[in-house]
Structure formats: structure tokens, C-alpha cells
Amino acid sequence: MLRKVNGVVYERERIRTPDDDFLDLDWLKQGATRLVIISHGLEGNTSRAYVKGMAQAFFQQNFDVLTWNFRGCSGEVNKQLRFYHSGATDDFDCVVHHAIQKGYKEIRVIGFSLGGNMTLKYLGEKNPPAEIRAAAVFSVPMDLHSSCLRISKPSNWIYSNRFLNSLKTKVITKSSLWKELDVAEIHKIKTLIDFDDRYTAPLHGFQNAIDYYQRCSSLHFVESIKTPTLIVNAQNDPFLSDECYPRRRLKAHGFVRFEDPGFGGHVGFAQFSKNGLYWSEERALLFMTTN
């Protein structure tokens, strides 16, 4: 919340999706042949400090950088009767192939929190393009159901209410464009699970919140990943359940490396006296430049 990242000036590009919607992409370009694509977290966007910090770190190491805003996260309501969600790999695939069409032959992908879950699911559910050489994700709710239960605990009420109020506002705003979106009792929704049950699941083809969590949790896809991938979940992350630390399950994985440092919080990983470079950025750079 307090971090400031100066000197990052994006070039925005709007692309169309196959269903006649749009995605807003924010670029840092310097004519590099290597590209890193960064995906933000729940109710985030490309202006968040953790995104800009990572973007700056890679740009300074001679990468072009593409950060992208999920549907409805760029400051403008998206067109279709859908939003973004943890398993929306169709939009991520659209962004990846757009980058490939630009001519990039070496692509690395980075995801935070919800964007990390989406990234892992994408890499594991099908064979990703050969241009994707490596991935790094941080603070990933790999098991969505148990993580939603965790974030809804009283000790996390400040965070969960912030997310929930932001999500409700988006639904209410969109309801003025789509009369099918019933918000008459939205004030009764008190948890993220209730929100997902009422809106996220039915709007995106799931039976209910539990079906959504089951089908989109990256924990069910990681064993199929064949791309060099780094997963970093801090032990003191207040949002992650025990299921999000699959140490034994991934110990012998040939492509996925799981790390659980003692500190870092949720999308934090602050460190000082490193010229503004956070630990997560330092770790991602090392992994990406050796894979």
C-alpha cells in the first residue's frame, strides 16, 4: 500500500477478444526480443506497485514487458455479461497469442495471487505455446475453496471487506448496462464465497461456487506442467490455506519448483537497501534468466 514505484510509463494498447469484448494491455517497450507478461491479482490492475516493481525490474534487464488488466480492471466497464475469474485462461491465452503475433520468440510469464493461479492453470491444462520458456508465480491460492474460507476469517476482515466492496461496486455499475444482472439483494452478500456463488459461478458457466473452485484451482493442474515454473508462497501469507503449500507433492516434479520462505506476506516480499528491488523481483529475475 505504501510502496511507490517511479519511472514506469506504460504505453496502452486495447485488443479485442473473440467474444467482442476488450482487454487493455500496458507495455514497456525497448525493442527487445525477450518479453515478460505479468498478471495481477484479485481486484488489482497494472498500476499496482507489485506489478510496476516487477515490470521495472525486468525492463532494466533488457526485457520488453507486457502487463495486462483483467476484464473490468482497467478503469472501464467491459462489454459482455462476464467479468474475470481465477480460471479465465481464455483471456490469458488471447494475450499470449497477441504477443506472439508481435514477433516475440522468448516469453516468460509472471503471476500474482489470482493471476498466479490463472497462470498455473494455463500451463497445466494444455500444451502452452513453445514461446513460453519459463514462469514464476507468487502468493498463489492454489486451492480456491480453502483459501476463500481462510480470507473470510475474522482476522482478515479488513482485506476481505475491501475486496468484496470493490467487487460489489463493479457488479452494481455493470447492472446499469445489463438488466439481467440482479443486484436487488447484493447487500446481503457478506463473504467472497457468497459473491462467487451468486455472481462469479453462474456468469461464467459454473454450477456454484464450489464447482468453480474445484474446476479452477491450480492445485489440480500443476502436476501436468512441463514448463520450468517457480511457485513462491510465503509461510506467513494470511490468505493461503495449508493446501496451498504442496511441498511433498511437488518435491520430485521435474519442471515445477515450490518455495515457501518464512516471510513475504501476501504479494509483499519487501526488502530494503537493494535500490528499490524487492525480494520477489530479485528471485524472479534469477529464475527467469537461468531458465
Domain spans in the chain, listed from the N-terminal domain onward: 11-144+218-289
Return d(Cα 150, Cα 242) in angstroms, integer.
Answer: 10
Residue with cell 467491459: 78
Point out which residues pair with 259 in neighbouring strands. Answer: 232
More confident residue, 242 or 273: 242
Taking the mean position of all CA atoms in its chain, how far away is CA 222?
16
Region 157-167 average pLDDT: 95
Longest Cα separation, the chain: 53
What pLDDT, in 10s, does the model give residues 37-94?
A: 999 999 999 999 999 999 999 999 999 999 999 999 999 999 999 999 999 999 999 9
Return d(Cα 10, Cα 55) in angstroms, integer.
Answer: 10
Contact 92, 99 (CB under 8 A): no
Contact 206, 144 (CB under 8 A): no
pLDDT at 27: 98
Contact 249, 97 (CB under 8 A): no
Contact 179, 81 (CB under 8 A): no
What pLDDT, in 10s, does the model give residues 3-32?
A: 899 999 999 999 999 999 999 999 999 999
239, burial (CB in 10 Å: exposed 0-12, middle 13-18, buried 19+):
buried
Taking all residues of the chain, what is their mean pLDDT, rounded to a whole number? 96
- Percent of the residues in the chain that have a pLDDT greater than 70, as a whole number: 100
In degrees rounded to 5, what are phi and psi of residue 170? -65, -40
pLDDT at 273: 72
Region 231-238 average pLDDT: 98
Number of neighbouring beta carbons within 10 Å of residue 150:
21
* Position 272 confidence tier, pLDDT thresholds 50, 70, 90: confident
* Position 276 confidence tier, pLDDT thresholds 50, 70, 90: confident
pLDDT at 28: 98
Task: Judge if pTM exceeds 0.75.
Answer: yes
Region 110-122 average pLDDT: 98
Residue with cell 462476464: 82
Reported CATH class of domain 11-144+218-289 = alpha beta
